Chain A
Amino acid sequence: MMRLRSLRALTGAFVAVFLLVTIGAALAVHQRTQATIRALVDARLAAESRALAPDGVMLPIAVLAARIEMLARARETGDLGFELIDRDGTRRAGNVRVRRTLPTGFSTLGRGDAIAGLTHGRVLVRRLADGATLVTVGETEPIDDYDRARVRIYAIGFGAIALLVAAAAIVLMRAIRRRMIDIDDAARAIMAGDLSRRVPVDGSGSEFERTAVTINRMLDRIGELMAATAETSSAIAHELRTPLTRLRNRLAMLARDDLAPPAGVEVEAALGDVDVALGTFAALLRIAEVENGARRAGFSRVRLDRIARDAADMMRPLAEDAGGSLTLEAASAVTVTGDAQLLMQALLNLIDNALKYGDGAVRVAVRDEGAQASLVVEDRGAGIAPDQRAVALRRFGRLDQERPGHGLGLALVDAVARLHHGAVTLDDAQPGLRVVLSVPMR
């Protein structure tokens, strides 16, 4: 069975069924009317025939013939025809002549019967008591003309109803679709990070509006919960950063005093630990800031190729000092809408990872793929197994617990990509890891 899932299919099916029912109803009404009219004509034929020759009364055929002659001349029966044939088959009177042999009772006449002045009609054939046959003919031609008019009336009447209902169905479908698109747009914007987005409310008090208001309240509630979570983590980070900064200052003062070992070594180590903690908080707060989407307000036209060149220039000495190399696949001007600082930070994080986990040879490329532009960083290290790639993008998703780092570098890259409505993908560079940060070109 066909599934009527989409609004368009539902509307189409409704309109089709409605049209079928309307046509069926029009045909039935037409048939019924026609049958009724025929019954009326037949009733008249029977009444006239019996008035002429009542049942059970034996009239001499000559009297009957005289009556017919008289009636044929009368004005009010001008649309009726009579023919009287005696028991021997001799035509005795009449103003019409029926050529074919008709059965007793009612029959329909047409043009083929070649009765002068008659194209459509009904005929009643009665056997009279004396064995004579009385034929009464009635025209239905004016009724048939009326019938054509009736078809037109039905077509216009039922057609107008059908058109109106079909139009209403389409208008209704569009109205529902518009509301659903509003909700869909809002949901998409929210998924892209614009948490302040709401479904439009028109103040009509309609069911649609009630749904919109409910959805918006739900979003407000989710927003409150998220804000509370973000506030809590930011508050923790802030609260801990202040005493950590103070602790760091104290340790730095101690370190300056050139303490004798082992105190000096311990102070240095403690300083290093505090720096790791401070760095983690800074990175967490930075990701939180990117994720709230506020930086989209400052988006401008950004040359990705220049960012890649600057990042490669910046990081090359580190690669070379470690005995490796950093090559840049120079592209022509590639411009996207975005935040140059964040894209630079993301690329630096990727190059930094490639230098740390690769075998020293790092390749940076900028690609213009028409609909989107990509920053690509490849290393020739061990790579990341497909089932571990999602973990790598997660906050604190460290794959190698032995290595230093807070596991937030790729999470920030992912947040930066999403801020730009783009994505980060991890691939096998055969060998090594290929990270692609793609941003739509708009």
Chain B
Amino acid sequence: MTSLSLLIVEDDAVLRDQLQQQLTAFGHTAVAAGDAQRAMEAIANHRFDAVVLDRMLPGLDGVTLLERMRAADLHVPVLMLTALGQSSEKVEGLNAGADDYAVKPIDPEELNARLQALARARGWAPTASDTLTVGEFTISPTRHRVWRNGVSLDLPRTEFKLITELARHAGTVMTRSMLIERVWHYDVEPTTNIVDAYIRRLRVHLTADGAIDPIVTVRGVGYMMRDD
């Protein structure tokens, strides 16, 4: 897991301290800002790996701050937080340039996983190659093909999407809700463990000939593909 340099923008002092403590516990360095003005100053003076931005801020709100950041060519990844029960604001946040969106209070593991994924995503060079190489695996998302040590694997559509997402974030935990969003493109709360059922199927395909399972279950959090 990578140690990240993070900025937390949250006006509620208690929540701000909690977020800072939680993220520091994961080994990140976290700077906190209580309003948009301080946030802009911090972003201008330091290069962060990601920003956790509360949508509701006194004075300048989170969406406007984000729009100003993007207008000022500041492209640091931003995860926007909103109060529960206001999911219609999600589109607004994403339109303003947020890279990810979560509802408060967010599980620290979920927040950490999402921030890791954001920071990791920024590290890609999308023009370099269409293929992903993770350990023994080579994946071509455009050609819908997977190879293990050069041998082609035949995966059903959903299982293919699942391994592609896991490979893209290899070494980082993907939570169930992140996988639901990215594999199925629905923002739903699965009442049963749909992700677990598909992971089981994917594992059957990957370990059919006694090969080592490349997917690690992180209890209570989600799944991770080994990147070694």
* Interfacial residues, chain A to chain B (CB-CB below 8 A): 234, 237-238, 241-242, 245-246, 248-249, 252, 255-256, 271, 282-283, 285-286, 288-289, 294-295, 297-298, 310, 313-315, 317-318, 321, 340-341, 344-345, 348-349, 352, 355, 409
Contact = CB atoms under 8 A, between A and B. Distances in A.
A348 B84 CA distance: 21
Given A298-B88, A352-B192, A271 B108 contact: no
A245 B158 contact: no
B216 interface: no
B85 A285 contact: yes
Contacts, number: 73
Contact of A345 (B86, B88, B189): B189
A283 B187 CA distance: 14
B188 A348 contact: yes
A241 B106 CA distance: 10
Contacts of B188: 341, 344-345, 348
Nearest to A284: B85
Contacts of B190: 348
B207 interface: no
Q: Which 6 A-B pairs have the closest CB atoms?
A: A317-B197, A289-B85, A285-B85, A352-B191, A245-B105, A345-B188
Given A282-B84, A298-B88, A249 B107 contact: yes
A315 B194 contact: yes
B105 A341 contact: no
A318 B194 contact: yes
Given A238-B84, A310-B184, A317-B198, A255 B91 contact: no
A61 B190 CA distance: 128
19 contacts: A241-B84, A242-B105, A245-B105, A252-B220, A255-B219, A255-B220, A285-B85, A289-B86, A289-B87, A298-B91, A313-B158, A314-B194, A315-B192, A318-B192, A321-B200, A344-B188, A345-B189, A348-B190, A352-B191
A295 B190 CA distance: 20
B30 to A, nearest CB: 16
Nearest to B218: A256
Contacts of B194: 314-315, 317-318
Nearest to A275: B220
- Of the listed residues A242, A286, A289, A314, the one surrounded by the most CB atoms of chain B closer than 10 A to its CB is A314
Contact of B186 (A242, A310, A352): A310
B24 interface: no
B27 to A, nearest CB: 14
A286 B105 contact: no
Nearest to B194: A314
A41 B98 CA distance: 104
Interface in B189-205: 189-194, 197-198, 200-201
A313 B84 CA distance: 29
A198 B219 CA distance: 51
A315 B197 CA distance: 9
A246 B70 CA distance: 33
Nearest to A230: B85
A307 to B, nearest CB: 9
B100 interface: no
Contacts of B29: none
A57 to B, nearest CB: 112
Given A238-B84, A318-B197, A282 B189 contact: yes
Contacts of B87: 289, 295, 341
A241 B198 contact: no
B157 to A, nearest CB: 8
B85 to A, nearest CB: 4
A282 B188 CA distance: 12
Given A288-B85, A341-B188, A241 B105 contact: yes
A201 B116 CA distance: 55
B22 interface: yes
A185 to B, nearest CB: 25
Contacts of B86: 289
A297 B220 contact: no
A318 B190 CA distance: 12
Contacts of A245: 105, 107
A349 B191 contact: yes
A282 to B, nearest CB: 7
Nearest to B190: A348
Contacts of B84: 237-238, 241, 282, 285
